[in-house]
Amino acid sequence: MNAFWIILTGSLVASCCSLLGCYLILRRMAMVGDAISHAVLPGIVIAFLLTGSRDSVPMLIGAGLLGVLTTFLIEFFHRYARVQSDAAIGVTFTWLFAIGIILISVFAGQVDLDQDCVLYGEIAYVPLDLWITEGGLSMGPRTVWTLGIVTILILSFIIIGYKELFLTAFDPGYAAAIGVSTSLWYYLLMTAVSLTTVASFESVGAILVVALLVAPPATAYLLTDNFKTMLILSVMLGVVAAITGYYLAVWIDGSIAGAIATVTGIEFMLAFLFSPSRGILISKKLIQPVQH
């Protein structure tokens, strides 16, 4: 049963991250996703200090705010102070992460978070933290519920805003011309990324979030030219990685989050080498038609 819960958690994280990651890599913002996943740390710590519990809702709010703040700061440094964009990202997230670590050290006695957990989480503990109703009925692990709700939110966000998200990612000029606010959808997307990051944070840590945000969409990007196919494919790749990763971790007795990230990397490598349309070992022999 434990294996089921862990794999379910991993798959939920993988689905949310892969979906949003598709938009991030097409907008060339993969590293902004990386930055957000680190920078939400102070938000989590502050929410924790204010409420004194690991309750999910305040943490989601705190980290969601921090995520938007990160995006805003990066934009601000880049646009108004003219810091080059990669440096703006680097300065912002290391700064916020450092503040988070310092907050943890200052309130070490009160904050039940440790640095390792921040970086690579502990998905293996997911089944231990059960949600038990007042009647004593066990509803399954708390994290699964949080993640489930976040997944539904992300899914409906993508379905409802599909056209706007698609347009602002591929043709911001046209989107603006027909009256779709590019900055509104940009910030909505970033809020969604922050929410996902925080919801996944406790179970899988900051780095796996990045692996799942970037690797499955990048793999799917090598396999298809159709955006809808890319979305579906990357979710499938993410879920496969979650399942395989779990068994890999059990086999060599290591971190499950690390193993899932490893598998996403292997998936990418396979696609990079053998993708029917773009693999470097395949495409050499074929003459590629010009694609429009």
State the residues that interact with other proteins by CB under 8 A.
25, 28-31, 33-34, 38, 77, 80-84, 86-87, 89-91, 94-95, 97-99, 101-102, 105-106, 108, 115-116, 119-120, 207-208, 210-211, 213-215, 218, 221-222, 248-249, 252-255, 257-262, 264-265, 268, 272, 278, 280
Q: CB nearer to other proteins: give 50 or 98.
A: 98
Question: Taking the complex as a whole, how short is the minimal distance between the CB of residue 20 and other proteins, in angstroms?
Answer: 13
Residue with smaller CB distance to other proteins, 92 or 151:
92
Q: How is residue 279 written in tokens? A: 């693999």
How near is the Cβ of 152 to other proteins at its closest, in Å? 25
Shortest Å distance, C-beta 209 to other proteins: 8
Q: How far is the CB of 109 from other proteins (least distance, A)?
A: 10
Tell me the C-alpha distance between 12 and 180, whole Å: 30
Residues 6+ apart with CB under 8 A from 41: 66, 96, 97, 99, 100, 101, 118, 206
Minimum gap (Å) between residue 18 Cβ and other proteins = 13
Enumerate residues 6+ apart whose C-beta is below 8 A from 122. 202, 203, 205, 255, 257
| Nearest to other proteins of 108, 139 (CB atom) | 108
Q: How far is 225 from 6, CA to CA, in rounded Å?
A: 32
Could you tell me the smallest distance in angstroms from the CB atom of residue 33 to other proteins? 7
Q: Measured from the CB of residue 196, what is the shortest distance to other proteins in angstroms? A: 15
Question: Which of 161, 162, 183 shows the shortest CA–CA distance to 172?
Answer: 183
Closer Cβ to other proteins, 195 or 218, answer by number: 218
HSE-CB for 256 with a 13 A CA cutoff: 24
Q: Under DSSP, is residue 131 helix (H, G, I), strand (E, B) or coil?
A: strand
Contacts of 260 (CB under 8 A, 6+ apart): 10, 14, 204, 208, 211, 212, 241, 242, 245, 246, 249
Nearer to other proteins, 25 or 190 (CB): 25
For residue 198, how far is the Cα from the chain centroid?
9
Q: How far apart, in whole angstroms, are the C-alpha atoms of residue 190 and residue 196?
A: 10
- Cβ proximity to other proteins, 24 vs 68, nearer residue: 24
In whole angstroms, what is the distance from residue 37 CA to residue 257 CA? 15
> How far is the C-alpha of 86 from the C-alpha of 136, rounded, in Å?
51
- Count helices and strands (H / E) in the chain: 12, 2
Smaller CB separation from other proteins, 26 or 130: 26
Question: Minimum CB separation from other proteins for residue 24, in Å?
Answer: 8
Nearest to other proteins of 113, 218 (CB atom):
218
Cα atoms found within 13 Å of the Cα of residue 279, Cβ hemisphere only: 12
